[in-house]
Structure 1
Amino acid sequence: MSSHGFELPLRLLLAFRMLIDELHAELARQGHPDIRPMHGFVMQAIGPDGTTAVELGRTLGVSKQAAGKTIDTLERIGYVERTTDARDTRRKIVRLTPYGMDALNRSARIFDTLRAHWAGELGEDRLNALEADLRTMTPGNPWRLDTPGWFGNL
């Protein structure tokens, strides 16, 4: 079967969308109904040590204001908290709450389950080959957290 060039990025995006939709459906079942796909990028960028709104915006490729708006949302639904930096009291740090860490930990386990499902459908060897081929064709670091900014904003 012959494919058109435009089909490759659409299929890759569709696969991404399916995995993310399945992840969020399962997260909702496991007690995280309010988390949205973009929140995962934000929470990964905040990381275990926390960050500032300026640093978060830079990492995500968005403005400080856009980062701040998302922080407000995540704070309201319980995933992050604002604290004062112990080393510099003028500096405000955004940290993940235990609820936020729970969402990230559950996400990792759910992604493992989703991968296992794909391996069951395609076969482990074919899935390993697909992942190896994608590693060959993409940059070495898969943690491009600036996707929100690349898509246009949060």
Structure 2
Amino acid sequence: MSRSGADLALLLLGGFRSLVDAATAELARRGYEDVRPVHDFAMQAIIAGADNASELGRRLSVSKQAAAKTIAVLQERGYVARDVDPLDARRKRLQVTPLGFELLRQGEAIFDELRNEWEQRIGTAELASLEAHLAALVGAHPVRLDAPGWLPQDPS
């Protein structure tokens, strides 16, 4: 049975959604019921140097206002904080808090568990082959956080 290119895209998207939805549900079971995928992307961008709303907006391809809303949510929940810039006391820089880093560690562990579940379902060799084929098709860095329009823009 031959599939269309659109079918392939939907299968890939479905795999992504399946993993992300399962990870989000497991994080909720572990006490992080207030987390959304965009929060992970935002914290990863902050770790990589997006230390203000303008820069976070650029990296996530959202408006400064949407980035500011995401920052406010993350700050309210204790995942990020604003610290005084050592070079300019008038400026506040974003930092991921220890709670934010713990959330990220939990998320990584959950994705490892989900990968193991997939491996059990289809086999070690098949999953390794799937990963190798996907890496060959999409390259070493399959997703860029600054790719316009693919991230949900809901800050809640």
Aligned counterparts of 2:21 and 2:54: Cα–Cα separation in 1: 29
Q: Distance in 1 between matches of 2:39 and 2:149?
A: 13
Q: Distance in 2 between matches of 1:152 and 1:26?
A: 20
Q: CA deviation at 1:6?
A: 0.9
Contact 2:66 2:153 in 1 (8 A): yes
* Number of aligned positions between the proteins: 154
Contact 1:48-1:95 at 8 Å conserved across structures: no
Moved more, 54-63 or 120-129: 54-63
Is the 2:59–2:146 Cα contact (8 Å) retained in structure 1? Answer: yes
The separation in 1 between residues aligned to 2:149 and 2:93, in whole angstroms, is 21
Q: Give the Cα separation in 1 of the matches to 2:57 and 2:132.
A: 31
Secondary structure at the aligned position of 1:116 is classed as helix
Q: Quick one: distance in 1 between partners of 2:152 and 2:110?
A: 28
Aligned-pair distance for 1:64? 1.6
Q: Which amino acid aligns with 1:134?
A: L
Gaps of 5+ in 1: none
1:110-138 Cα offsets, whole Å, 9 max, x none, are: 11110011111111111111111111111
Question: Gaps spanning 5+ residues in structure 2: where?
Answer: none
Query: Aligned with 2:42: secondary structure?
Result: helix
Matched residue, 1:28: 28
Moved over 3 A (4+): 147-154
Whole-angstrom CA distance in 2 between matches of 1:31 and 1:49: 28
Residue 84 of structure 1 aligns to a residue whose secondary structure is strand
| Deviation, structure 1 residue 42 | 0.8
Give the structure-1-normalised TM-score: 0.90
Q: CA RMSD in A?
A: 1.9
Q: Does 1:107 align with 2:107?
A: yes
- How big is the shift at 1:140? 2.3
C-alpha separation between the residues in 1 aligned to 2:6 and 2:119?
A: 26
1:50/1:96 contact within 8 Å kept: no
Identity of paired residues, percent? 48
Comparing 16-25 with 2-11, which one deviates more in the overlay?
Answer: 2-11
Partners of 2:53 and 2:67 within 8 A in 1? yes
SS of equivalent to 1:89: strand
Conserved? CA contact 2:23–2:110, under 8 Å: yes
